[in-house]
Structures are given as C-alpha cells and as structure tokens.
Chain A
Amino acid sequence: MPKLLLSRFLQGLLTLFVLVTITFFLVRAMPGSPYTGEKAMPKHIEAEKMAVMGLDQPWPVQYGRYFTNLILRQDMGFMYGKEGVQVSEIISESFPVSLSLGLASMGIALLVGIPAGVIAAVRKNTPTDFACLSLAMVGICLPSFVIGPLLAVFFGLKLQALNVAGWASPTDWILPAVTLGMINAAYLARLSRGGMLDILNQDYIRTAKAKGVPGARIVIRHALRGGLIPAVAFIGPAFAGMISGSFVIETIFQIPGMGQHFINAVTDKEYFLIQGLVLFYGFLIVAVNLLADLAQIALNPRMR
C-alpha cells in the first residue's frame, strides 16, 4: 500500500508539472494579450504595462520566473486586469463557495442517485425501473442552463418561496445545489443500476437467495459493495468538478464561486489565473482519483 501511494504521488507530481507547462505555453500562444480591449490601449501605455508585468520578456524567461516563484515562494502570480490582486486571493476567496455548493450538490446526487439506481436494479423492468431510468435520462439530457432557470422561475417567481439568484440568505444554496446535484444524480443512478444488475446476476447472490437470505439483506450486505464500483469510479472526478465550481450554475444563480474564473480568465487573458486554476484543478483531480482508487480497493477485494 505505501508503495502504491508513493508511486501515485510521484505520478501526480509529474502530471501537474506537465499540465502547468503545457498550459503556460498554450495560453501565451492565444491571440491577443491581457491588454487587448475594445478601446485600444495607446501603444506607449501598452509597452509600459508589458514591461512592468514582465510580459516583454521571452517565454523561457517568463517560464523560469513563474516556476521559481511558484516553488520557492508559493507565489502563483498576479492579475493583469485587476492590478494589485493576487491569483491566490482569487482562488482562496472563491473556492470555499464552490466547495460548500459542491458538497451540498454531491450530497443530493448521492442521496438521490444511488438509491434510485439500486431500486431500479432491484425492480428491474417494472414501472419503478422505467420511471427511474426515464428521469435519469431527462437529467442527463437537460443541461443545467435549462434546469436552473426553470427551477428559479418555478420556485422563485411562481411560488415566491426562494430567491431566484444570489448568495446571501441561507436558503440561496438550495436551487443551485439541486440543479447541480440532479444532473450528477442522473449519472449516478444509471451507473449504480448497471453495476447492481451485474452483481445481482452473480452466482453468489443466487446462492444467498437459495439459502433464504432476505432480499433487503442481500442487496445491502452482499450486492451493494460490488454494485457501486462503477459509481465510485465516477464520483471521484465528478466530485472534483463539482467543488471547483460551474460557470453556468454560477452565472445563472449569481454565485461568487470559482467556476466563472475558468471562463473569464481565458477571455481576459489572465495568464497567471489560468495557470493557477489549472494547477489547482489538476491537483484536485489527482487527489480525488487517488481517493477513488483507494475506495475501489476497499470495495473490491480482488483489487487488493
């Protein structure tokens, strides 16, 4: 086990290094610069800015500086447009919002998706199964920019029960969390149904039935563990995605999370922010994948 952990850790480091390096050069190869705007910045001002911000240096020099600052000073760089603001500030302000929303959505996804999938598998080919499957299909097909506004219009404008958007009142997380959660619940329901069906057809389940073990006990004690393996493999990356924010959810519900920065940083050519976000997201993905692997090992004795 320690050997596996160490090897995964080293692989993770290598992945992050390659990721940040590729990003560094790709973002600089995009057309435009942080100072490309609707109103032209006078050439002499642009030159002053490029010099102050170090953008007049050749790429390898900039790359060297970036890594030196990152490793020696844990400095992820600064914002070009928002002068005086550090990338670490942007991430540390917005990540807690995305994390809390992501956790709530994940809770909803797990509480809805897994039971629905399991029930559908147990009641295979019954109306319950069809209902679960079609709901899941709807959840997968409808994008969040459709579900979100529909929920906002219904619960906010129609019922006047919740704010349609905002991040101030304690109930403001409900609509975005449900929107984000339901989409993932739909995937989880399908995956856990598939996984459960595989397991329920196994010989050892038939043996348990033959020995007179009650149905609920078979499902919970014997089938669930193996049946959830595909769902668990999905949860890892999905969780990283959910806690790092969603541009669509954040703009629909006016949430100060991290997801919008992934898009806006590219539009605004905020090179350091793009690199910082990619590094942070890469780290999350590596970490949760490692956790998902460990969870799979725990669930599946054959992998040990």
Chain B
Amino acid sequence: MQRLPLILALCLPLLSCQKESQVEAAAREGILLIGNAADPKSLDLQVVSGVIESNVMRALYEGLVQFHATEDLGTPPGAALSVTPDETYTVWTVKLRPDAKWSDGMPVTAEDFRFSYERILTPAFGAKYAEMLYFLKGAEDFNKRVTPDFSSVGFKITGSHGFVLTLRGPTPFLPEILKHYTWYPVPKHQVLKFGEIDTVGNAWSRAENLVSNGPFRIKSYRRNHHIEVERNPHYWNAGNVHLEGIRFLPITNTFTEARMFRNGQLHITNTAAPEVVDLMKKEDPASLRQEPYLGTVLYRYNNNVEPLDDVRVRRALSLAIDRQAIADSVFRGFEPAYGMTPPMGDYDPPRGVSFDPEEAKKLLAEAGFPGGEDFPRLKILIASRETNAALATAIQAMWREHLGVEMEIDNKEWTAYMAAMQDMDYEIIGGGWIGDYIDPLTFLEMWTAGNGNNRTGWESEPFGAKLRESFQANEPTERFRLLHEAEVILLEDSPMTPIAWWGKNYLIHPSVKGWEPLLLDNHPFTNVRLIPQPPQR
C-alpha cells in the first residue's frame, strides 16, 4: 500500500506532458465544451419538456423566429421570413424562408409545420408540452379528444411556404411563444419513415436517424457521456455560424462540473453551487457570471387545511419572511421577490409581499393566535435538493422569531415530494417555477382554478376573470394592466408566497464571446464565438 504513491509519482511526469488544456484545444478547433446537467430524455423535441433538452434543441432545430443574442424580447427571423399579425393580434400570417432546408437537404415546408403541430397535439402521441400550443384556436379541444379532426385547429396552409395561424384570442406576444421549442418543426418525411404520426418512441430521433433544421446537426451521441453536434452545411445561414461544433456534457454533479471547469475541461458550466460562487469570487472572479433568470422560488400553502384556510394567517406568514436576508445568505445572486412574476420588459409586478413583522403579528393575533399561541405545529415539506434545506431552516427560524410559531421540516425523496404536492398531501411546501416564455402569463396562469400546477386549492373568481379579460385585450399596455391587477389579487390572497427571483450562477471561460446575460438563458449558438486566449503564465 505504501508503494503506490511512489509508483504514481514516478508515472506523473509521463502524464503531465499534455501542453494544451482541453478548452484551449477545443477553442482552436471551434468546438464549444458546455456542461448540460443531465442526459436529455430524447432528441425528439416534441416529447421532451426540460431545460436540459431545450439547450440541445436550440442547437439542432430552428423555429419560425430565433432567440436574440443580447435582447430578451428580440425576435430575429428564423425559419420564417416574416410572421405578421392582423390588427387584432389573432390571425398571424407566416411566410417561410424558401432556402430553409433540413440537414438531409430536403426543404422545410409549410406541410412540415402542419404535420408537426398536428403531431404534438395528437392525443395518442401524448406530448407532455402540448399545452404550449393551446394558443391556437381549437388546439385544446383537439388535444383533449373533444374534436377528432385537426382541420378544426387554427392552422391553414396557403402555399408550399406559407400558412396562417388563427389564435384563441389576441396574443400580441406570440413571437415570444414561437421561440419555445414546442413550436419548432420536425421533418415529416423522416418521422413517417420510422413510424406513424402518433408512434410513441419513434426511432427517427435516434442519433443515427436524426434530421434537423437548425444551425447544427448531430455528430455523435453516447448516453450519459456526451452529445456532439457539428455545423449543418444545409442551414440557410450557415455562413454566419461561427462555431464548428458543440459538445454537451451531461455533468450531474455541480462540484465535478466546477472542478472540470477549473481544470480546463469545460468552456461553460451549467451552474455554480453557492460554495463554488464563494470560491470563484476569491480565486477567479472574471470567470464567474451571476445573472437574473426567469424563475421564482416560492412556498405554497395548502389552502384547504386549518389554519391556512384563513387569509390572515397566510399573509402573516408571508410578512414574517425576511427575503433580503434569504437572498443574501441562502442563495447567491438571487433577488428578494416582491411579486410572483419577476420584472420583465415593461411589466413590473405589484409590490405585494414585504417584510413587516409587526403587521404579521397583528394579523396572526386577529386570526386568533396572539403571539403564536395555540398555533398548530405544521410541517414544511421539502425535497432535499440543493439549497432547499437551508431555505426551510431559515424560514422556520423566521416564523419562530417573528410570530412565535413552531414548524417542523419534513424532508422527502424527490418523487414522493412531487406526489405529495400533486395530491395536496402537505401543509406548507417549498417549490419554484421557471417561466416558459417572457410574459407575465407564464407566472400567473398556473394559479387559475383547476390548473395542474396550482396545487394550493386556491380558487378565485375575480383572479380568473381578470386573466380571461386579458386574453381578449389586444392592446399590450391594457393587457399588462389587467395582468397586474390579477397579480394584486393573487398576492393579497396569498395562496402561496414568493420568496426570491431566480439567479443563474455559472462559470465561463474567457475565450467564449457572444454569450450575454439573457433572462431565459436561451443563448442562440449561432452568435457564439471562441477566441483562443494567449496561454496563461
């Protein structure tokens, strides 16, 4: 046993003769090495629903409009030359680019889009994210088997490269929605080669069969090891793609990812744990990025159990949380939330939650629990991931200190926790929400009665009415005013309480250019460049 270090020490000079680190070599070759947290569930964009998958989809496919490299609300044209609304923002005319091609050289046509939208909405296909297309008139009914025929959906082909989308109501923010990968096309010819429109587990999306229309095409895939994409020569804008390829590494352990970055094995990490943020601030602050991200950390109350069915109790609990302290000590780079919706574009959420222990005490006393007396011992349910336990402990302590109430923390395994949330088998539960697109609706619609993501038992007719009214508003400022009013109702009733707005912490190598802060973190890979750096001494 004693000799091993000696043997290893003797071998080390042999191993350490590598002069160039992996990131340096990759930068020279134009290959971006990027941490991507996990292996994607599929390369078929119509069956997946996660952020991890969306990163790969963005390289492989292209929607009607693209993500902008620097502007959150920018919508540069993609597969479409133009997407034009009528004056009510309800009927949108799409003109496809005649030179858009699939990676096998076949043209991208209106029929591909029709097929794609029919496929994702076909009930038997069971796409998890079909809801994203419910903006189309009749889409929900078709997806729920109310109408059996896709012709009832608001999609009409006008030519080989043109179609018209008819929506369920005025949707001025449709271009934002179109950036989501559920609206990207799949190659009809390739999908049907390996199955039917509703075939579950269709082999067309296996790496060896995959055909895509984005700036990159699949080069190699090894499960839990890597996905490598290379420049797609058939891409209409191939001349303006700077990278030769991207290598996605499914690194689940954030500390492993940080070590790989520091060892020159990665250009960009998916995330940086709070401990890594502290370390990098000291050692290499230039590589650390801390940016806002479109998400909210929140605590749900079960509105059906006593005493949480009393709005005064829910408000008291919300007012007793010092969000600034939490943002500073528990998270790194998160902002204390004052509304459910993070500020975005022209929308500033109402200042509906704050830290006011005196008011909290008063409300709790009014509800019949002066000084926390006789308040039942409730459970805070969490899943032990990342900073959840630290957050729960902090909130537990704040409630004890400011309200005199004792809570227990109940830590469950991930799916048991998720199942408890879905079945509303909890009293107070930790959670979060990441927006799908940049619009307040993605943070508000979930709280309507019967929505699968509500999970609080809260139902409010005035709130629902405001949202429905906003669906009919075709003037953007008017729409935001209605959504703002809806959010005021939500925060006043406090079926849940927002804690913090998400921040994205990650590490990035200085050779990566064109990777700017974006709220959705959806960077168009076409704009990314690698500029090899002079070797560091």
Contacts and interface: CB of A to CB of B under 8 A. Distances in A.
Contact of B41 (A48, A81, A153, A159): A81
A38 to B, nearest CB: 7
Interface residues of B, number: 55
B460 interface: no
B124 A40 contact: no
B222 A256 contact: yes
B259 A43 contact: no
B227 to A, nearest CB: 12
B193 interface: no
B165 interface: no
A267 B415 contact: yes
Given A159-B16, A171-B15, A83 B47 contact: yes
Given A30-B415, A83-B47, A167-B225, A161 B15 contact: yes
Interface in A67-105: 78, 81-85, 90, 93-94
Interface in B315-330: none
A270 to B, nearest CB: 11
A254 B260 CA distance: 10
A251 interface: yes
Interface string A144-183: 0000010011011101111111110001000000100000
A44 B15 contact: no
B248 to A, nearest CB: 13
Interface in B52-105: none
A31 B145 contact: no
Interface string B1-22: 1101000100010011000001
Contacts of A131: 2
Interface residues of A, number: 63
Contacts of A44: 123, 143-145
A31 B419 CA distance: 6
A272 interface: no
Contacts of A31: 415-416, 419-420
A42 B45 CA distance: 18
B515 to A, nearest CB: 23
Given A256-B225, A260-B252, A162 B452 contact: no
B126 A260 contact: no
A248 B52 CA distance: 22
B269 interface: no
A52 B125 CA distance: 9
Interface in B191-241: 200-203, 205-206, 222-225
Contact of B418 (A32, A45, A136, A155): A32
A112 B4 contact: yes
A45 B127 contact: yes
Interface string B433-457: 0000000000000000000110100
B414 A267 contact: yes
Contacts of B144: 44
Contacts of B396: none
Contact of B1 (A132, A161, A167): A132
A83 B416 contact: no
Given A44-B145, A149-B259, A159 B12 contact: yes
Nearest to A78: B201
Contacts of A253: 256
A238 to B, nearest CB: 17
Contact of A164 (B124, B205, B260): B260
B173 interface: no
B251 interface: yes
Contact of A251 (B4, B253, B420, B453): B253
A159 B224 CA distance: 28
B422 interface: yes
Contact of A45 (B128, B251, B256, B416): B128
Interface in A1-52: 30-33, 36-45, 48-49, 52
Nearest to B17: A161
Contact of B452 (A41, A90, A256): A41
A211 B12 CA distance: 47
A163 B265 contact: yes
Name the residue among A82, A253, A254 with the largest chain B CB count within 10 angstroms.
A254
A131 B1 CA distance: 10
B431 to A, nearest CB: 8
Contacts of B249: 254
A45 B130 contact: yes
A112 B3 CA distance: 9
Contacts of B15: 161-162, 171
A257 to B, nearest CB: 8
B259 A260 contact: no
B416 A112 contact: no
Most chain B beta-carbon neighbours within 10 Å: one of A33, A131, A149, A162: A162
A287 B416 CA distance: 34
A229 to B, nearest CB: 21
Contact of B253 (A39, A83, A160, A252): A252
B413 interface: yes
A199 interface: no
A252 B256 contact: yes
A52 B124 contact: yes
B168 interface: no
B200 A83 contact: yes
Nearest to B15: A161
Nearest to A81: B41
Given A83-B200, A267-B414, A48 B420 contact: no
Nearest to B49: A39
A149 B256 CA distance: 8
B461 to A, nearest CB: 22
A278 interface: no
Interface of B: 1-2, 4, 8, 12, 15-16, 22, 41-42, 44, 47, 49, 123-124, 126-128, 130-131, 143-145, 200-203, 205-206, 222-225, 249, 251-253, 255-256, 259-260, 262-263, 265, 413-416, 418-420, 422, 452-453, 455
Given A45-B123, A165-B256, A256-B225, 19 more contacts: A31-B416, A37-B418, A40-B452, A43-B452, A52-B124, A83-B201, A90-B223, A115-B1, A136-B1, A149-B259, A157-B262, A161-B12, A164-B262, A171-B15, A178-B4, A189-B1, A254-B251, A256-B223, A256-B224
